[in-house]
Amino acid sequence: MKVAKAILFFMLLQTVAWAQQLPMIQWQKSLGGSNDDEAYAIKQTRDGGYIIAGASASQDGDVTGNHYNSQFPEDFWIVKTDACGTLQWEKSFGGTGRDIAYSVQQTSDKGYIVAGFTNSTDGDITVYHGGASDFWVIKLDTLGSVKWQETIGGSGEDGAQAIQQTSDGGYVITGWSSSNGDTAGDHDFDYWVVKLDTGGAVKWQKLYGGLNDDTPFDIQQTSDGGYVVAGYSQSNDGDVTGHHGGTNGSDYWVIKIDTGGVLKWEKSFGGTQDDQANAVRQTPDGGYIIAGYTSSSNGDVTGNNGAYDYWIIKTDTGGNVQWKNCYGGTSNDQAFAISVLSSGNYLVAGTAYSNNGNVTNNHGGIGDYWVININSAGALQWQKTLGGSGADAASAIQPTADGGIIVAGASNSIDGDITSFKGSYDDWIVKLDLISGSTNICTGASTTLTASGGSSYNWMPGSITTASVTVSPAATTIYTLTAYTGTCTVNSNTLSVAVNVLPVITFTSLGFPDTVCMNNTNENLTGGQPAGGMYNGTGVTTNVFNPASAGIGTYTITYNYTDGNNCSNTAAHVVTVQSCVTTQVNYFSNKELNVYPNPFINDVQITSAKPIKKVMVYNMIGIQVKEFSAVNNVTELSFNMSGLMPGIYFTEIYFTDNTTMIKKINKQGN
């Protein structure tokens, strides 16, 4: 029998910034019994709690009513918890065959819709089509009682993977089919999309694919009323084009259909190895974000870190790639779920075997939950491993109304982050809170730490009960946050704010004399230590000082250096610019330039053979005392020197051709 999304079974076959957000466990729950219990879907409910769907082979612990058969022990297991993860009710649905729920959603009437597959012919199943398995859809009321249920399929294998309530109040389901019963036009395993009305009756159904294996895992209604479906394909015929490998390799296969199921476009993404899309969501810009995993390193795939990587693709509305990134390490890392955040970022969850590359703090077992946050351009913002020394795989993730994150999957660890264990595999539900802020600061700085994911908070030291706390530690300090959701039993998280000392900066020399002439060429600044900093000040461009640009005067130049901890310090040095006027003023010809009367009392006249731009007047020690600008580039300029003491002055005349001349003038008393 075909088994889709059998995450843990697949795993066991393996040979095996400064400002940031810090995800931390607020609470975690293990639910189940002594046999295998696996959660495949979780959604927050309107009362703040959670609805969880998956499969259970247990008959004890938290599980009741299982239709146990030693060959096929699994039942649909549906669990409702409160906001703290405390069990409110649970239900087992199925027969003596194999029954696995992959998808659940709260419906507009506050009940629930569940979909998966069954090969039972008894128990809760009232109709069976005689094949290897059927789609099985159950409508529940608010307390988990069955309102109606439908088996949909044919004489082959059919399994529902995802269900969503649609805008008309009905439902859309996708899954795989190899049947010719309720299905038509089948090839091998095909994508099968079925539209139901509000009571579960089939309105229409369509098959999509080619002659080989084509299996969908997710569907979402889009803003135009149609649907987007994602999974994998091994075909390169029928509806499928652009396949990148042979029949033993799979591609991401994404299709867009209209409200009646008519195929609008389809896209194959991947390389020559295995590429499987497990989740798709429409993005705020009308495009799509697709999550899954790849073992390819050619075709569309670049940057594979080794073995399987998370592979995330962002497309436009027509399915054309805008960006695509691999995330992971050198071992097997597989993404199974994605959510779009209001910020425009994306949350991705799955399992990571790696403990290198993008993956840190793996607990050393057969995979950890691995949660990553990427921004709208695909850049990794943060990552978090969760689990213990056993096998841990997350299959569902969702942001919560309080600003936190809920993650669900299965675990057989008994240590690490897991605080209770019922046996074999458990549903493992983890609620994360987030702390935003810098945990790496410099001496004298402060940081504001802001928590989300709870209804109330307590920061220690200080017993501060607001969501945000601003701290200015003098040395590295450990802070403890407890984030409460109602009366939940929660973990208290500790985080360390590291305080880094400022770098020692010296700037005792400019690299040239402290006093320079205004007409000097550019001077290279080299005196700041350690090397690699930046110079700033009047007349400074990059690491060069221009005396003419600065002009006559005394200036402070600063040297700023930032070290590897992003801590900066500054040192300063003073430079003086002088005119450096000499007797060479006598070399200028009076035929070219006349300044008269000279000596003068107050008024001075300049006539020149070339147009004048401005006149600068300096005293005997080179300090500028007057400036006059010419209008319309005149060759004659009059200006008044009243207010100056009698004595010797120098006039520097600037011409429009960027040449200058200097004249010595003598001011007499009245």
pLDDT value of position 587: 36
Which of 196-205, 435-444, 594-603 shows the highest mean pLDDT? Answer: 196-205
Strands 440-442 and 492-500: what pairing?
parallel
Which range has the worst mean pLDDT, 148-157, 221-230, 586-595, 644-653? 586-595
pLDDT value of position 250: 96
pLDDT value of position 7: 37
pLDDT value of position 121: 93
- In percent, the amount of the chain with pLDDT more than 70 equals 94
Q: Which tokens is 127 given?
A: 């109709």
Q: What is the mean pLDDT of residues 198-221?
A: 97
* CA separation for the pair 535, 570 (Å, rounded): 10
Is pLDDT above 80 for 391?
yes
Which range has the worst mean pLDDT, 123-127, 434-438, 564-568, 585-589? 585-589
pLDDT value of position 12: 32
pLDDT value of position 2: 59
Q: Which residue has the tokens 């004399």?
A: 513
Sequence ranges of the domains in the chain: 28-180+196-207, 438-500, 515-578, 583-667
Q: What is the mean pLDDT of residues 260-283?
A: 98
Q: What is the mean pLDDT of residues 334-360?
A: 97
- In percent, the amount of the chain with pLDDT more than 90 equals 79
Residue 152 or 19, more confident: 152
pLDDT value of position 5: 46
Q: Which residue has the tokens 């008994």?
A: 414
Is pLDDT above 70 for 343?
yes
Q: Do residues 622 and 611 touch, judged by C-beta distance below 8 A?
A: no
Q: What is the mean pLDDT of residues 298-303?
A: 97
| Residue at 254: amino acid letter | V
Question: In 178-250, which ranges are E strands?
Answer: 190-196, 202-208, 214-221, 227-233
* CA separation for the pair 266, 230 (Å, rounded): 10
* CA separation for the pair 614, 659 (Å, rounded): 11
Is pLDDT above 70 for 527?
yes
The CA angle 273-276-282, to the nearest 5 degrees, is 140
pLDDT value of position 182: 52
CA dihedral 241, 244, 247, 251 (to 10 degrees): -80
Q: Which CATH number fits domain 583-667: 2.60.290.11, 1.10.357.10, 2.60.40.1930, 3.30.470.10?
A: 2.60.40.1930
What are the residues whose beta carbons fall under 8 Å from the beta carbon of 354, sequence distance 6 or more?
A: 305, 306, 307, 328, 329, 330, 331, 332, 333, 362
Q: What is the mean pLDDT of residues 585-598?
A: 66
Average of per-residue pLDDT values in the chain = 92
* CA separation for the pair 253, 269 (Å, rounded): 7
* CA separation for the pair 453, 155 (Å, rounded): 48
Q: Do residues 133 and 110 touch, judged by C-beta distance below 8 A?
A: no
* CA separation for the pair 319, 316 (Å, rounded): 5
pLDDT tier at 44, thresholds 50, 70, 90:
very high
* CA separation for the pair 536, 405 (Å, rounded): 46
Render pLDDT for 98-114 as a digit per residue (tens, 0 to 9). Answer: 999 999 999 999 999 99
What are the residues whose beta carbons fall under 8 Å from the beta carbon of 15, sequence distance 6 or more?
A: none
Residue 540 or 486, more confident: 540
Q: What is the mean pLDDT of residues 28-54?
A: 98
Render pLDDT for 617-655 as a digit per residue (tens, 0 to 9). Answer: 998 878 889 998 888 778 899 999 998 999 999 998 888
pLDDT value of position 188: 79
Is pLDDT above 60 for 460?
yes
> If you compute the radius of gyration of the chain from its CA atoms, what whole number of angstroms results?
37
pLDDT value of position 519: 81
pLDDT value of position 592: 74
Q: Which tokens is 498 given?
A: 């590291």
Report cis status (omega within 30 of 0) of the bond before 461.
yes
pLDDT value of position 19: 55
Is pLDDT above 70 for 247?
no
Give 374's Cβ-side CA count (13 Å radius). Answer: 26
Q: What is the mean pLDDT of residues 364-374?
A: 95
Is pLDDT above 90 for 233?
yes
* CA separation for the pair 288, 657 (Å, rounded): 61
Pick the closest to residue 335 from 323, 347, 325, 349 (CA basis).
349
Q: % helix / strand / coil in the chain, to the nearest 5?
A: 0, 50, 50
Pick the closest to residue 494 from 24, 1, 14, 4 (CA basis).
24
pLDDT value of position 185: 54
